[in-house]
Structure 1
Amino acid sequence: MKPVCWTLTRKKNKEEVTEPSNQLELIQEPEEIKHPSLTLQFTFKALCETLKKLQENDFRMFKWKLWSHYPQPFSASQSMDIVDLVDRLLESFTCEMSVQITRTILVSVSKKNVAEHLRMLYIKNQIRHELCELMIQKYSEVSITEGQTMPLDDIYVDVSTLSCFDNGPNIEHEVMQIAKPYTKKNPGKRQSLAETVSQEWVTKSHARQVYLYGLAGSGKSMFVKKLALDWARGRSHQNFSFVYVIAIREMNEYLETKVSLMDIVNKLYPMAQRIKTEGLRYENNEALFIFDGLDEYPEEFNFNRTEIHSDATCPMTMRVLLTNLLRGRFLSRSRFMITSRPHADRCAPWDGHYDEIEMGSFSDENKDEYFRKRFKDPTQATRVIEHVKSVKTLHIMCCLPLFCTLLADECQLVFRESRTEEKLPTNITYMYTKLLLKLVHIRRTRAPDFSPEEELKLLMDLGKFAFTLLEKGQFHIKRTKCPEISHIEAVNRSGICTQYMTTPFVLCHEDVVCFLHPTMQEYMAALYAYLSFRNHDKNIFDQPIKSKFRLSTKGHKIMELYKAAVEKSLQCPDGKLDMFLRFLFGMGCKTNQELLLPFHKPPSSHHSTVFMYIKKITSLSNQGISGGGLNANTHFQYLFIFFNTLASQLCCA
């Protein structure tokens, strides 16, 4: 339906005279409200909604007035219903003209309140349009590597959210079967991005707030960007007229001053200021506020000793503002979504009314989809997918979107710099070190005053914690029995650990702390062993062990650490130290030493001796040495394959 402008000037041909017999003096010139947001679709909907507010007699008067001013197009207006009338109005006039004619006639029949409602509709539409344009500008492109961006729509994989929290981390493992702690909770039901905070949720849930929890690198911020972009492009969440995304790190700028919630919103989204200046207000479920990264707030919340405020325009300290926000005191007609890592001390008030959901991990299908989107060349994408599946630990760890990104970066570097079919990265220690450094980098943005010495101490404390659990064959521990490690640092800021709730007994709940994945625990334990020797000349295997293998280690004391680690691993029939051993030996690679340089002394050339030692073990094991039932160990075949693989890696390093 293409609108035709109905001119108000007399044409030369008398048969084309369109000037009304009684010219209507408009209350505002149509040019004054010209705006890209005033589309045909919106105008039709707004006019219909406005005219439905009229009583039957008032609607008849409206039609009579319209006919009296424009008799030719509305000669049969008395028999028209609202839809037919609006349809004819838009066929005869432009959108701007149609709105102004309707407003003017409504005022003339003493329906100023209805005319004002129409004005508010198109002002809201203008604000929404400008907000959408800003969202598209901010989130349509994302950085994937340094200096390279891609459209978010081209790279995003819809990771399902889980309808309840405390599902626990992924415990899939290459070597062992790890038991998951018992909980009475049913596994969360998977729901797509469009189903999260949807109209159905708004209708069914009495909660105004929803907390989205997820591990570090699970894709929470990307999820938020995609939600905002889909809303701005009209794909989902159209039940909200306004969506505001506010990063907590942006709010942290006001830690030393007083500010109101609306001051922050208006600074980040200047078009929102018109809501107050135009006399508008947020109506039922009309606005969605998303606060991303609550774990980046540096202070703790005290819900019992913080004064209560409910005025979103009143300046207050950031602590008071966020505490009242989490209590649901502000903007009672709006909805709120808060994203965070699983807190050691939950950020939601115990007596609040809210829903909790959790970011799911990449499924096998998600992993393949991500690599196909990341690598536009189908041949490269297929090669990467096959490569990842060939290294089981890499494939398992790709459940974490951040790990997928880091691995894709490395593969892309190979494709960019190599003209031949160079081998893709298989050194899992190298990839885990890249993940650790990325988490450390993210953490430093949260605690910039943390010195390198304090950073190293935290990593060593976490590594010692990991090794202690590993020796006991544990992959989680009660929070109350954790060693003296700051929960805020370990869980909230470092991202290396996480916390969730279990149900050990019928009426008992307890919080347990674990690493973001069992292999991350094994890696941190290996890092602790390696750095303890490199920085303090300490062998964590201080118990003397009689060696089955003889190799001259003169001048290479670190070989004693490797020998003790091998002996310890071979004594564990369940293979609980196999991956630890693999990570420990991988740290002897030159490339990995260079990555770890900020945490230890300059690298040495002992990796060649490590290579000799592994060749010695491989040779002896191939001859069938079986002292102490060596061949009876179920994990020995795994170690044998590992030693051969690692030897080839070290030879090339």
Structure 2
Amino acid sequence: MAESSTMLSDNSSIGDAVSSREDVESIEDEGLYYIPERRPSLDLGPSPMDTSQWYFVDQALTPAQSYEKLTSEEEPEGVAVEEEPPYTSVRLERVDSFSSCYSVDSNDCEKTIPKKKNKEEVTEPSNQLKLIQEPEEIKHPSLTLQFTFKALCETLKKLQEDDFRMFKWKLWTHYPQPFSASQSMDIVDLVDRLLESFTCEMSVQITRTILVSVSKKNVAEHLRMLYIKNQIRHELCELMIQKYSEVSITEGQTMPLDDIYVDVSTLSCFDNGPNIEHEVMQIAKPYTKKNPGKRQSLADTVSQEWVTKSHARQVYLYGLAGSGKSTFVKKLALDWARGRSHQNFSFVYVITIREMNEYLETKVSLMDIVNKLYPMAQRIKTEGLRYENNEALFIFDGLDEYPEEFNFNRTEIHSDATCPMTMRVLLTNLLRGRFLSRSRFMITSRPHADRCAPWDGHYDEIEMGSFSDENKDEYFRKRFKDPTQATRVIEHVKSVKTLHIMCCLPLFCTLLADECQLIFRESRTEEKLPTNITYMYTKLLLKLVHIRRTRAPDFSPEEELKLLMDLGKFAFTLLEKGQFHIKRTKCPEISHIEAVNRSGICTQYMTTPFVLCHEDVVCFLHPTMQEYMAALYAYLSFRNHDKNIFDQPIKSKFRLSTKGHKIMELYKVAVEKSLQCPDGKLDMFLRFLFGMGCKTNQELLLPFHKPPAKILDLAKDCASLIKKNQGSQHPDRSKNLQCCLKELEM
């Protein structure tokens, strides 16, 4: 076997020699290899073979042993190295393979000696690439691994097949080790390898530099645009989280919005009307042939599905005062900023009409307002970028806060969002859909007496739904961290049916929770929760009045009181007729704008009494709110003007005792009127009227009294009057009189 391995023809090629060395393992490396000295060729001499000159040769070492023995760096100091005659070598280099070196004159394959690898040499490119570096774009916190991967993939998909092949070749040229097999990689594998080998910043720089080098500056610019927009989005998200993560629940106390928010489902259509559930009566709703709206969650509202299916660029979100529209908008923006929903939009801007009203006396452009509220948005223009299709969502919250009326027929048309104009012209053209044709808009408002959208506009309408029974329980459990307290509040609310019904309004739930929380904080005992519903309705009225004053700050207290009295008179007139809604054309007593838009006490919706006929119907937030306003009108009329709204003489059996208060005349007539109504239409009115005689309610109503106002002690006289009439002929009315005693907190 040894003989056959050494006797090779002089004409044998290097390739033959390689094939004969089956026991030599191939080692892949990219370094240089040292070749030992050349040995003289064997002279076999004449036949028969002369073996006298033969000598024994040690068995060839393995590559690893040869490396240890022959590499000069590995030799210990002081060891003499025997000098060898000059040699001739062939040095071969090949990336990712082991170099085989042979003697030129000999057919014998020499031992291969790999050079020791340096780790830095692996990452060092063989051809230095000068990167495009822009310091303001480097190491921004928005440059996450997830974004970088998506951005690079999206960018490389814009390349044609030949261009992508050239890109891979260039990448391999400059970075041969990690991209040795780049020609067989697809986009995902290539980007994955790029991010494995380099940081996110380096990956973006390398990609942009190579794209420019292969004359694809437009694609490189697209990557830069994605990077800058991601920075703007990141800063916008941080601002949204800062603004909306906390909400105020009581004076000086805030809670995380996520902790107390309950998803009030929106309805896919408009004009559903208010909740008409009542404790005493069955109230009929005006006829409409429209089917009730389909409920959808916050995530489904203005979702990707809506953007895909709807051709409308605008959606109007209508809702009663206190229905939670503004909270809904805050939650939507917060969820977008935290990546929970609406990720189909790259930018979400929330702008309140109250903020826009600051420019009523000046000319301003839409983009000036956006840039002032969101400074990071200025870079869209300064960087030469623009909003792509459906990339931005603009939310305008509280259109009903705009103090003027819209006139779509007499307002000039504008389409340039950067052109300064008056607020009236700006909002009118915004509602026309003239601005930012590539963006989507969401506009929230109370139901307008006059439509806030042009008749020829293309838009969708949805409505804020009310709290369901499950929503009410969920809200109180979130609001009260102590489970015992939450359970007590839920049981208390369910025990008073009118409170439970009225909690369909999120604002009412908030006010009730505030009151219960105050009791828990001050008493720290198992104190009984209040059963006085008049007190909670007065709290609701004061809250609505406070909100209204921000819309009409020029209103004097006298004008405010006059509006409430007009609304109360309107409520009492309808109540006497047994009506809880009326055609808009038949209620001339009050201004529709004041009643519906600004006060928030009334609302409006559309019905279809006939096949081809539509009517606007005006009603109160809830039937019980109408009854409360009627009672308030009766109470204040007597306290401020000594006027009995029933306008009839008092029967002898109800003659006032000289020791009683004069206002008891009103209460006696009201009791008589209530007992004469078998349908109970004055039952709740009577409860509220007695409730206003309670000291706590009189204190709340002091701003509406004419000075000097005095707190009257009516509880004993009212209780005496109720007890005298409890044995009436109508058992149901007697039950209601018992509820009146609770309103007196007796």
The TM-score normalised by the length of structure 1 is 0.91
Per the alignment, residue 615 of structure 1 pairs with 723
Distance 1:486 1:117 in 2: 55
Range 29-38 or range 172-181, more displaced: 29-38
Distance 1:198 1:263 in 2: 27
Q: Deviations over 1:308-347 (max 9, x none)?
A: 0000000000000000000000000100000000000110
Change (3 A) 1:598 1:20: same
**Structure 1 stretches of 4+ moved >4 Å:** 7-12, 29-32, 547-551, 601-605
RMSD: 2.6
Change (3 A) 1:174 1:85: same
How far did 1:14 drift?
Answer: 5.6
8 Å contact kept, 2:702–2:709: no
Change (3 A) 1:623 1:513: closer
Distance 1:226 1:145 in 2: 19
Q: Deviations over 1:615-639 (max 9, x none)?
A: 33xxxxx884xxxxxxxxxxxxxxx
How far did 1:27 drift?
Answer: 1.4
How far did 1:380 drift?
Answer: 0.1
Distance 2:543 2:126 in 1: 74
Change (3 A) 1:53 1:9: farther
How far did 1:67 drift?
Answer: 0.3
8 Å contact kept, 1:371–1:381: yes
Distance 1:393 1:276 in 2: 55
Distance 1:184 1:116 in 2: 55
Distance 1:510 1:32 in 2: 58
Q: Does 2:484 match 1:484?
A: no
Q: What does 1:28-39 align with in structure 2 at a 5 Å threshold?
A: 28=133, 32-39=137-144
Q: Deviations over 1:143-199 (max 9, x none)?
A: 000000000000100000000000000000000000000011110000000000000
Distance 1:18 1:399 in 2: 65
SS at match of 1:442: helix
8 Å contact kept, 2:570–2:589: no
SS at match of 1:379: helix
8 Å contact kept, 2:656–2:664: no
Change (3 A) 1:126 1:552: same
8 Å contact kept, 1:545–1:567: no
8 Å contact kept, 1:220–1:359: yes
Change (3 A) 1:577 1:72: same
How far did 1:425 drift?
Answer: 1.4
How far did 1:10 drift?
Answer: 16
8 Å contact kept, 1:173–1:393: yes
8 Å contact kept, 1:217–1:400: yes
Range 178-187 or range 595-604, more displaced: 595-604
How far did 1:548 drift?
Answer: 5.3
Range 594-603 or range 517-526, more displaced: 594-603
How far did 1:206 drift?
Answer: 0.5
Q: 1:256 aligns with which of 357, 361, 371?
A: 361
8 Å contact kept, 2:320–2:446: yes
Distance 2:617 2:337 in 1: 40
Distance 1:15 1:321 in 2: 62
SS at match of 1:509: strand
Distance 2:135 2:186 in 1: 25
Change (3 A) 1:192 1:547: farther
How far did 1:557 drift?
Answer: 1.3
8 Å contact kept, 1:182–1:504: yes
8 Å contact kept, 1:501–1:511: yes
Distance 2:199 2:653 in 1: 91
Q: Deviations over 1:503-546 (max 9, x none)?
A: 11111100010000000000000000000000000111112253
8 Å contact kept, 2:571–2:630: yes
SS at match of 2:311: coil
8 Å contact kept, 1:260–1:314: yes
Range 13-22 or range 37-46, more displaced: 13-22
Higher helix share: 1
How far did 1:13 drift?
Answer: 3.1
The structure with more radius of gyration: 2
Distance 2:334 2:531 in 1: 36
SS at match of 1:17: helix
Per the alignment, residue 739 of structure 2 pairs with 650
Change (3 A) 1:183 1:79: same
Distance 1:623 1:131 in 2: 64
How far did 1:420 drift?
Answer: 2.1
8 Å contact kept, 2:122–2:177: no
Name stretches of at least 5 consecutive residues in structure 1 with no aligned partner: 1-6, 606-613, 617-621, 625-648
Q: 2:641 aligns with which of 531, 536, 555?
A: 536
Distance 2:524 2:172 in 1: 76
Tell me how many residue pairs correspond in the alignment: 608
Distance 1:159 1:487 in 2: 27
8 Å contact kept, 1:10–1:19: no
The TM-score normalised by the length of structure 2 is 0.79
How far did 1:426 drift?
Answer: 1.0
8 Å contact kept, 2:288–2:608: yes
8 Å contact kept, 2:347–2:393: yes
Q: Deviations over 1:540-582 (max 9, x none)?
A: 1112253655762545211110000000011111000000000
Q: Deviations over 1:265-292 (max 9, x none)?
A: 0000000000000011011000000000
8 Å contact kept, 1:215–1:498: yes
8 Å contact kept, 1:597–1:603: no
Which structure carries more relative contact order (alpha carbon 8 Å, separation 6+)? 1
SS at match of 2:617: strand
8 Å contact kept, 1:11–1:17: no
Change (3 A) 1:475 1:603: farther
Q: Deviations over 1:354-388 (max 9, x none)?
A: 00000000000000000000000000000000000
Distance 1:19 1:419 in 2: 71
SS at match of 1:150: strand
8 Å contact kept, 1:66–1:105: yes
Q: Deviations over 1:191-238 (max 9, x none)?
A: 000000000000111100000000000000000000000000000000
Change (3 A) 1:500 1:539: same
Distance 1:421 1:11 in 2: 82
Distance 1:11 1:539 in 2: 108
Q: Deviations over 1:558-610 (max 9, x none)?
A: 111000000001111100000000000000000000000000146988xxxxx
Name stretches of at least 5 consecutive residues in structure 2 with no aligned partner: 1-111, 711-721, 728-737, 741-746
8 Å contact kept, 2:236–2:374: yes
Q: Does 2:202 match 1:97?
A: yes
How far did 1:484 drift?
Answer: 2.5
Q: 2:269 aligns with which of 144, 160, 164?
A: 164
Per the alignment, residue 652 of structure 2 pairs with 547
Change (3 A) 1:288 1:14: closer
